[in-house]
Structure 1
């Protein structure tokens, strides 16, 4: 069995707040940080939004993570697409 990557469990909201107003952030739960990405879960859709420390957005890909435009991913995650 391979060791799992280190996972941070202290909430970090700054990255999400770069994109959204504080009142819009309440639609998300901070879940954890792993692989340099903050993982936020939308409270209604249960979909994940993943951001790096610079606010870039990522989705899972065959070879790790793929960068995608924040606006497109936010719409998908919130169900507003």
Structure 2
């Protein structure tokens, strides 16, 4: 068990250390891939999303003043 750990540790420590530019480049690639996955996900769950309130129905004059959420008096 320790031999396997020692072998892997030596192999990892023998790799050259990553420079700051390489790390930033790798992070930018990861971020772009993440944003692309998010766009694909949003498209898959809402492919043809449209506004639901494009046409408002006519309001009966008797219902012009009414109580809306939290008891506020509202009118159209």
Larger-gyration structure (1/2): 2
* Higher RCO (Cα < 8 Å, 6 or more apart): 1
Q: Per the shorter chain, which TM-score range?
A: under 0.3
Q: TM-score, normalised by structure 2?
A: 0.19
Structure showing the higher strand proportion among its residues: 1
Q: TM-score, normalised by structure 1?
A: 0.19
